[in-house]
Amino acid sequence: MRNNPRRQPKDGLKCARRDAWCIAVDAKLSFEAALGKLETIVESMESGDVPLADLLAKFEEGTKLLKVCESRLKDAELKIELLKKQKGGVAFEKFEAGKED
């Protein structure tokens, strides 16, 4: 059963295709990295050459990447709002971004 797409790999990630393209998304991705991956997925989906099973897996990964992008943008917006509200000039403080699942 070599390259069986239904087999779970040792790391516990659920693979969508024989070539081990996995749907897990690293939550630590930068906005730019997540957006780049998302754009690649959209381009491949729009090509029309993707089998249905792979299309569904790509859609799932794209949805997760979109959430990462939205989270990074929200964090940036909150940081900007904090900076705008500070009185007496610009003073920077450590900003801890919230993590969304």
pLDDT given at position 10: 36
The whole-model pTM stands at: 0.60
Asked whether residue 11 carries a pLDDT value surpassing 80, the answer given is no
Assess if CATH 1.10.10 describes domain 31-85: no
Would you kindly state where each structural domain of the chain is located, as residue ranges?
31-85
The string of pLDDT tens digits covering residues 40-96 is 999 999 998 889 999 999 999 999 999 999 999 999 999 988 888 886 565 666 777
pLDDT given at position 31: 93
Following CA atoms 13, 18, 20, 24 in sequence, which dihedral angle do they give, to the nearest 10 degrees?
Answer: -40
Asked whether residue 14 carries a pLDDT value surpassing 80, the answer given is no
